[in-house]
Structure 1
Amino acid sequence: MTRPKVLISDKMDPNAARIFEERGCEVDVITGETPEQLKARIADYDGLAIRSSTKVTADILAGADNLKVIGRAGIGVDNVDIPAASSKGVVVMNTPFGNSITTAEHAIAMIFALARQIPQANERTQKGEWPKNDFMGIEVTGKTLGLIGAGNIGSIVAARAQGLRMKVIAYDPFLTPERAIEIGVEKVDLDTLLARADFITLHTPLTEETRNILSAENIAKTKKGVRIVNCARGGLIDEAALAEALDSGHVAGAALDVFQTEPAKESPLFGKPNFICTPHLGASTTEAQVNVALQVAEQMADYLVSGGVSNALNMPSLSAEEAPKLRPYMKLAENLGSLVGQLAHGNLTRISVEREGAAAELSGKPITGAVLAGLMRQYSDTVNMVNAPYLAKERGLDVREIRHDREGAYNTLLRVTVGTESGERSVAGTLFGTDAPRLVEIFGVRIEAELEGHMLYIVNEDAPGFIGRIGSLLGEAGINIGTFHLGRRQAGGEATLLLSVDAPIPPELVRQACALQGVKTVMPLEF
């Protein structure tokens, strides 16, 4: 078996390469390449491990025909074109927890630096001055800290601030009342936070909703004398507006580890006596650098070797332990999606994926992704579970997931139903044993069959002699029948026939089959 190949294109802890090797991957460490060099090289690799230096653009991804996963050792993925990766079918992972403590501690350090003006006092003292009376600080004890964002890093900052006897309030649309109680913060709206906080720290990703969340308008709503810290993402603060607020004294001090443009060679904030900054050091500790490198290697190797998906930004998570259990279901799901996609006529408008019995207890997202991958294969030969949902969305397909608690005729069952201009069409399947996918129903007709290889689907009048006629036709054409599956709703009505054959059915043979007496539909299938 060929081992997956991984390229590490940015400097990271050497133990990352060791982990890739130990887990069954080949790895090359080639850093400092130009975009043109990376574009020329990337087609040879299944995985790309990066830090912040490598920019994975749509142009680079265009040539990455074998690439399956990009792993970012760190939280931010601003340097990866995620939509382009998704359309290419490439999983994008990050390591959201490897540097959480480090970044949170940096924010706390910035709070202290602002409160006691440590950088400014240090600079003048080292010049031989003794400016003891020029630096009157404030205590953080008893002050109100306002968190904009109370996720993983924000909650760690809250815990540290509470240890300093600060009152912590938080604005976060995703923060539930229960979680707020759990981490010991008061949940408030943004205007309330701006009006009450003595210190404000930001801990959100940069999105269209959070861009310039501290705009000129919102900075004007803050409490006079507020101190602002940003160790999250550049672009969350209007830097020109912050500079004006520092000049006016409305904002007593600001500390930034991140800037809208990096590296920040110039900024309206530079030179302000009440401003301090660091060059994006939030994750820069020995422990964090080791943690994120090891974590990204483990995640990528799990995906490439066993199919486990952790911390993916464009695909549902699937642990390495879950993957073997889900694999036969995902094969069944993909086959059902492919079957209904090949047989359903007209423009598809909606699709539902129903799970019952043992299937209802499994994670639904990977199963739905597999169904869509099978369905979308008729539109693209590079479709997979990653880009299939995006292709479905582009086509305006309404996707629904339905989970049933009921017990049916089968221990486990998947049903895929598509809506077309001419009505709904449904297929269903189960597992025989624990790992043998089987079709059990097609368009309301009970029929048991393995979906594999070359197959022929026929709907005909249920009348004597038909089986002999189709067998003779295929035999005369030199097409050997592998398996034969027959179902019908009632005697004398319509019968459904599924044949597996040892070679593709040529178009001329399909036309001859259609001309047989009693035949209503003939379609070759491929799985």
Structure 2
Amino acid sequence: MGCIKLLLFQPLQKYSRTGLFRRKFKRITRGSQNMLRFSPLKKITHTACIAGLITAAQMSFAVEAGPTNISAKGSAVTGSGMTAVSSLRLADKLYFDADIWTGHSGKKDADTIAIRDGRIIGVGTMASLAELTGPSTNKIDLDGAFVVPGFIDNHVHFLDGGASLNRVRLRTAKSQQQVADTIKAFATNTPKGEWILGGEWDHESWGGQLPTKEWIDAVSPDHPVMVFRLDGHMVLANSLALKIAGIDRDTKAPKGGIIVRDTQGNPAGVLKDTAIALMIKFIPKATAEQLDKMLEWASLEALKNGDIAGAGLDVYTSEPFEDNPFMGLDNIVTTPHLAASTDEAQTVVAVDVAQQMIDYLDNGIINNAVNVPSLDKETREKLGPLISLAGKLGRFQSLYIEGRPSSIEIEYSGDIGIADTYAITTAVIIGFLEPKVESVNQVSAPSQLAERGISSSEIRVPGDTSFGFQIKVTVTTDKETSQIAGTLYDNTDPRICSIGGTRMDAVPDGWMVVSINEDKPLVLGRLTSVIGEAKVNIANLTLGRDEEGGCALTLINLDSPLDEDALNQLRGLEHVQQIRQVQL
């Protein structure tokens, strides 16, 4: 089954449906364009787009087969009546009246796209996506705009941008003399022996003649020089740089590269394309201190130009702070670390984190984690099987229910052996949310559930049960109330002990088909025959009923899932009232 994974969405990219655009679009899809070197003094053009990874197969599936309910992890849930859409699956936004490129030749382009939480959940027509819309869905008319996945990636190489602020710039040079004068001025303020880098020269600015090493040798005898052409495909090097790189008349150009030579066959100073690598490997890598300065230069330039609206700093490249260039800027707030210098604070934090890691590795103790509750080792070992069981019960309900959920109730009966059940209740919520959201953990689960309009509660029933204890999870939707209970055998082995009040003893694992049927002869045989004809192996089978001749429950563990055709065959069997399939 196809699914759509969106890397980034906000907002939508719109193009006019013109012949000019379609011709340009074809060229874009045939190959990538070269990335020009970063210039931090230029404003970056902002392009609003859908930047997403949408494969042709995925998009064509959505158009051909209509909308599909897709979980945040890309797994589809199969079951009786599962085309009904809960509130968790309704679109936040619906863009319609568009010409949407699907990536599938021969298929009619869609005109509507449904979005939830910044992700595409459906592509098709307005009618086919009707089940994904609700009263709160924001419908946006694109007025016939042509919509494609975003192919334009506007970004900044921030460190390179900072480095370029301390490099020679030849963009404005219009002659040989201006090239020499610019490099001479830069060399005057550069310590001897250090490389002079930068560039952005354009030989078309002075008539098309390529520069040579002789242009700059006289003004840079003590500095190796390598400066790029503005497109990044050529560099000009002086004689010292060529000597350091070992490039002479006997050096062969690599495949895909050119060493421009003079009439005697000696390197003239210009290297093209892959030949540039012959020199780049000899340029010293930036030190940590130099990288810090590059970041500082880039940040300072961005703040001055308004590319960054504002910032706050409490860690600095050097101390004391008196001469820091950020001082005096109106759009930055600088604060010291309290009770310690920056260096001391970093040391204290590092030691503290290291000690917490030692506590976890030696004793299993977790402290101060943002996504795991703080528990000692003994409690964690006791809670482990209970949390696993709770997660399975929550996930079962998430995949089993029909309709829009409004509440989850967790009931603890008997002696569960744990006074504080918060972690177990949270595990139920995590299991319930995992098929529906991209990411959830023990800290975020309760708030994520509340954001979706679902209430949660827990109750304790101290009386004994025939299982010693059980955890019962009841989910109420606008269509039904579903109930499942589980327990542990020997405090480690999870079991489903009832579904909908019907007692049973089933292993909550893998693919499971749940059948509600009349308690009649031959029903079980017909169920298993259909599964066998679908060439799916039965791993386990559990039966339960409320009374003889009444309603029976059949839970079948499978080695692999049944397809929709096989499920529909099961639903069509005599005396079968309901078939649903889940995966734990």
Bin of the TM-score, shorter chain as denominator length: 0.3 to 0.5
Q: TM-score, normalised by structure 2?
A: 0.41
Give 1 or 2: higher helix fraction. Answer: 1
Q: TM-score, normalised by structure 1?
A: 0.45
Structure with bigger gyration radius: 2
